[in-house]
């Protein structure tokens, strides 16, 4: 579309007016010529007949009463009338001219006007008149030329007026409309469209286009606002979903504690913090006693309920926001206690052991409830110790508690040299 050259509507309409005006002028000139050709001969013949009758009445007096020499001057005077090609006074019977003026090559041809010259009721001769058809043709051409000039003058005036009106009422508003559209950017959708048109009592198509464009702007703005609101809502929903995914990615779905992935990410950070600032760090391994027997005897749903209740108890009894618990695997949990000494960790594990024994009661399908116990292995990080070594010591204490009879807390007191 951009390869098509631009042409103003006003120019196109003006050119159309000029072409059609010229065709109309030519048609009008043709009609005028046709009409003039058919009427000029009749008008001229009628006028010359009147003159011929007057001349026919006067000639007998001049010829027979005054002097025959006056005939020639009267014919010459009469021949000066426009439209007379040949004028002659003929003998009775019209055989030989007594006097003649004009184009003598027309002598002998049939006269256009043939009038008798009468004296006392007797014909004494005839008056023959031939019309100047070339003069008639010239009059036709003159009439056509006048009509053409008048039409051209009218066309020039009309084209000037049409061009002025088109420029004022069509071209300038449309150019302003196009310029406003070219300047329109996404951030300017609400800009008012001003075509700089004077106030009028009526509306036209350009007003309708401008109003439709303004309506489109408003609809687009509303749609953009709706889209912004939807995008904001979807973004918020997506953000919440991402946060939930992040939580789900590091959360054990059964117990609500951190999963093994979260533990592998957070525990090295806790050990690094303790090493860098030489701050205390304790680890507690928690394991449900005889969990395999529970699964085999009561089924996995009861075993899942035991783990869920145990995880909830561990999460709810953490000392502060700095403490955290993760499901390490199966029925094993790991409590990470930053800023906790060995004795504080042992005391916390003992409280948990008692709460597990006293508070966790899992209802059974056949009636009654299942009471569980747990064993704990506690170790505190020591200078020069890695995270893996700390976990191994705590895990060893857990197995020591199992071998010592279960339902107990075993702290690691050995110091790495």
| Residue positions annotated with a catalytic role | 331
CA distance 56 to 313: 150
DSSP strand E in 16-145: where?
84-90, 97-102, 113-119, 122-131
- DSSP state, residue 5: P
Q: Taking the CB of residue 9, how many other CB atoms lie within 10 A of it? A: 11
Enumerate long-range contacts of 261-265, CB under 8 Å, 24 or more apart.
262/326, 263/326, 263/328, 263/334
Of 330, 11, 28, whose CA–CA distance to 153 is shortest?
28
Cα dihedral 242, 245, 249, 255 in deg (nearest 10): 140
**CB distance 344 to 287 below 8 Å:** no
**Tokens linked to 5:** 């050259």
List, in sequence order, every beta strand (DSSP E) within 64-121: 84-90, 97-102, 113-119
Per the CB < 8 A criterion, the answer to whether 26 and 33 are in contact is no
Q: How many CB atoms lie within 10 A of CB 34?
A: 12
DSSP letter at 202 equals S
Q: Give residues with Cβ within 8 angstroms of 318, minimum separation 6.
A: 324, 325, 335
Sign of CA dihedral 272, 275, 276, 280: positive
**Orientation of helix 342-359 relative to helix 300-316, angle to 10°:** 130
Structure tokens at 100: 């003649």
CA–CA separation, 184 and 16 (whole Å): 33
């Amino acid at each position: 579309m951009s390869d098509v050259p631009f042409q103003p509507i006003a120019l196109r309409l003006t050119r159309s007016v000029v072409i059609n005006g010229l065709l109309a002028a030519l048609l009008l000139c043709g009609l005028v010529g046709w009409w003039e050709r058919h009427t000029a001969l009749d008008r001229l013949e009628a006028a010359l007949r009147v003159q011929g009758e007057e001349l026919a009445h006067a000639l007998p007096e001049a010829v027979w009463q005054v002097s025959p020499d006056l005939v020639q001057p009267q014919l010459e005077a009469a021949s000066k009338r426009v439209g007379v090609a040949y004028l002659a006074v003929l003998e009775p019977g019209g055989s030989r001219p007594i006097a003649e003026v004009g184009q003598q090559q027309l002598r002998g041809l049939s006269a256009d006007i043939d009038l008798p010259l009468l004296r006392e009721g007797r014909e004494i001769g005839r008056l023959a008149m031939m019309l100047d058809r070339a003069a008639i043709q010239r009059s036709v051409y003159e009439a056509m030329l006048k009509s053409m000039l008048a039409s051209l003058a009218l066309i020039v005036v009309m084209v000037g007026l049409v061009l002025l009106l088109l420029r004022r009422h069509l071209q300038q508003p449309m150019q302003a409309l196009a310029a406003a559209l070219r300047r329109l950017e996404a951030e300017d959708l609400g800009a008012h469209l001003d075509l700089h048109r004077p106030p009028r009592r009526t509306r036209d198509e350009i007003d309708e286009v401008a109003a439709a464009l303004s309506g489109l702007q408003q609809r687009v703005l509303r749609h953009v606002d709706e889209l912004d609101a939807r995008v904001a809502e979807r973004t918020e929903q997506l953000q919440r979903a991402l946060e939930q995914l992040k939580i789900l990615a590091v959360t054990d779905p059964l117990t609500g504690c951190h999963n093994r992935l979260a533990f592998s990410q957070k525990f090295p950070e806790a050990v690094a913090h303790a090493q860098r600032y030489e701050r205390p760090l304790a680890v507690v391994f928690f394991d449900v006693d005889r969990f395999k027997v529970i699964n085999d005897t009561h089924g996995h749903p009861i075993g899942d309920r035991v783990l869920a209740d145990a995880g909830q108890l561990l999460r709810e009894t953490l000392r502060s926001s700095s403490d955290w618990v993760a499901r390490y695997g199966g029925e094993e949990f790991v409590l990470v206690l930053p800023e906790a000494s060995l004795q504080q960790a042992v005391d916390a594990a003992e409280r948990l052991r008692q709460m597990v024994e006293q508070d966790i009661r899992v209802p059974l399908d056949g009636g009654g409830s299942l009471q569980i116990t747990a064993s704990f292995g506690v170790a505190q990080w020591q200078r020069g110790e890695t995270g893996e070594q700390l976990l191994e010591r705590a895990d060893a204490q857990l197995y020591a508690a199992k071998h010592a009879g279960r339902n107990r807390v075993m702290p690691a007191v050995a110091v790495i040299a």
